[in-house]
């Protein structure tokens, strides 16, 4: 099914399929191609409206049953690490950050395979081969970086994040890490380090993807102070007492045509 705005990108909707986060639910995505001279501006604009990038596609959940998937970001100025997160920082003090251009390597793929096999063996990316992995890393029409974390003692590649640089922050597109080091909480640590990278660059936000209330897989994202979620068309600070039951209701999702009509697109003049 195709939907469009005058002189605007074409928007499409995927066929429903089982939701990977909430049992018994079906997921559906609204998406558009990310290409051409305006790709970077389109990515900046739609990221602020809850979209995410996957290679040369921008997508946002548009499920008919609920609206539980909420785009999440950390406000850099409002983030303060908890005691547990400070301990995580100390445990990973031996890791050295190395930012490179988006180019896939054998070391990255080897780590990626270990991560998937141990953590997500039944996930949608479980069968990804080296060529598909290279496409995920390298096929980006915008400003992207691969942020590697290397053990300063033995030089081993320990964690990797594919990161987009937006006009208002960093978007953590996909991250993976050594699965045999659970005590180091590497996923949490990479998020904190991206907050520091954004702070150093003067960028106000770190985009984390989707937080899903009620999903154990996504629960860790709620542990960051300064978290904001894109809810009812605007970014709001998440508080411990927020009630998200409304998002679980079958009537919580607007019709596709109305969703597309409400998307703000960048001015392409000049």
Per-residue pLDDT of 8-66, as tens digits, reads 789 999 999 998 888 888 999 999 999 888 899 999 999 999 999 999 999 999 988 88
Q: Considering the chain, what is the average pLDDT of its residues?
A: 90
Q: CA geometry: angle at 201 spanning 105 and 33, to 5°?
A: 55
Domains in the chain: ranges and CATH: 2-69+244-261 (no CATH), 74-228 (3.40.630.30)
pLDDT, tens digit (0-9, with 9 covering 90-100), for 244-270: 887 777 666 778 888 888 899 987 554
Asked if residues 58 and 34 have their Cβ atoms less than 8 Å apart, the reply is yes
Largest Cα separation within the chain, whole Å, is 56
φ and ψ at residue 27, rounded to 5 degrees: -105, 155
Distance (Å, whole) CA 115 – CA 237: 32
Residue scoring higher pLDDT (97 or 218) = 97
Q: Which residue's structure tokens are 């002189």?
A: 7
Distance (Å, whole) CA 250 – CA 258: 16
The candidate with the shortest Cα–Cα distance to 143, out of 43, 33, 9, 75, is 43
According to DSSP, the β-strands at 169-177 and 205-211 are parallel
Q: Point out the least confidently predicted range of 61-65, 89-93, 232-236.
A: 61-65
User: What pLDDT score was predicted for residue 121?
Assistant: 60
Q: What is the pTM of this model?
A: 0.92
């Amino acid at each position: 099914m195709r939907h469009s705005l005058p002189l605007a990108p074409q928007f499409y909707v995927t066929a429903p399929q089982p939701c990977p986060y909430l049992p018994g639910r079906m997921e559906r995505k609204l998406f558009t191609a990310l290409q051409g001279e305006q790709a970077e501006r389109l990515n900046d604009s739609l990221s602020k409206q809850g979209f995410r990038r996957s290679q040369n596609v921008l997508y946002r959940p548009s499920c008919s049953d609920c609206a539980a998937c909420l785009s999440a970001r950390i406000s850099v100025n409002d983030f303060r690490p908890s005691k547990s997160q400070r301990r995580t920082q100390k445990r990973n003090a031996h890791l050295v950050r190395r930012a490179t251009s988006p180019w896939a390597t054998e070391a990255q793929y080897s780590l990626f395979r270990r991560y998937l096999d141990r953590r997500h063996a039944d996930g949608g990316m479980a069968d990804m081969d080296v060529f598909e992995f290279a496409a995920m890393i390298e096929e980006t029409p915008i400003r992207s970086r691969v942020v590697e974390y290397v053990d300063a003692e033995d030089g081993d590649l320990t964690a990797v994040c594919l990161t987009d640089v937006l006009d208002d922050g960093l978007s953590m597109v996909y991250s993976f890490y050594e699965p045999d080091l659970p005590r180091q909480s590497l996923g949490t640590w990479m998020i904190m380090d991206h907050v520091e990278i954004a702070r150093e660059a003067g960028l106000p936000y770190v985009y984390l993807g989707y937080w899903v209330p009620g999903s154990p897989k996504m629960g860790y994202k709620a542990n960051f102070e300064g978290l904001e979620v894109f809810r009812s068309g605007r970014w709001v600070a998440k508080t411990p007492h927020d009630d998200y039951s409304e998002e679980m209701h079958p009537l919580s999702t607007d019709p596709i045509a109305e969703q597309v009509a409400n998307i703000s697109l960048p001015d392409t003049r000049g």
